[in-house]
Copies of this chain bind each other. A is one copy, B any other.
């Protein structure tokens, strides 16, 4: 069956999310200490990492919990200083991977539909696409918030296919995580390509037919699939 569309994960697949988030968090901690947070940078960072691990990266109150853990009480000045700094630094660093736009252009030239399937808050994920300057490449974007259920639920992937009007077998899905991206998408019959970028880069993955180190490598894979060579 000919390939008609390519769907992408967003964070760590189309841009570097982990590294920049981490740098932004470190800057935020420095400013929070300047504003009165009573902890060393290292201790505050370790506590924050633990909170992110426990609550997930899309939890909205990391800095509230950090301040509560250290100060024993709510301190809106220190929390707000953290939030402002985190966002300022993250937006300052936000950019697509060097090969993201070139790859999207090539795929559009092939006449393919493109889409994004992403876990997260709808407005936040759209904001990233707009600020990254890549929003106009995508025919549709689906978020876990809009569907009410996120990765790795296969219902979420099936919803995305219905919304963008593609069948699984005519679709290539590109993501960085084995558990959340590759396994569910493969299980419903999508062609999958794993990109080895971001913090899950070194996680071992079985059953992964295609693994690439750069986005531009997917162009040849998609072309082969499209022409029915594989």
Contact = CB atoms under 8 A, between A and B. Distances in A.
Contact of A130 (B80, B123, B141, B143): B80
A222 interface: no
Interface in A81-113: 81, 83-84
Given A76-B141, A141-B76, A83 B135 contact: no
Interface in A116-133: 122-123, 126-127, 130-131
A84 B122 contact: no
Contacts of A131: 84
Contacts of A146: 76
Contacts of A126: 76-77, 79-80
B141 A84 contact: no
Contacts of A123: 76, 79-80, 83
A61 to B, nearest CB: 10
A79 B130 CA distance: 11
A130 B84 contact: yes
A122 B83 CA distance: 13
Interface string A173-203: 0000000000000000000000000000000
A135 B77 contact: yes
Nearest to A77: B126
Contact of A84 (B81, B83, B127): B127
Q: Which 4 A-B pairs have the closest CB atoms?
A: A80-B126, A76-B126, A76-B122, A80-B123
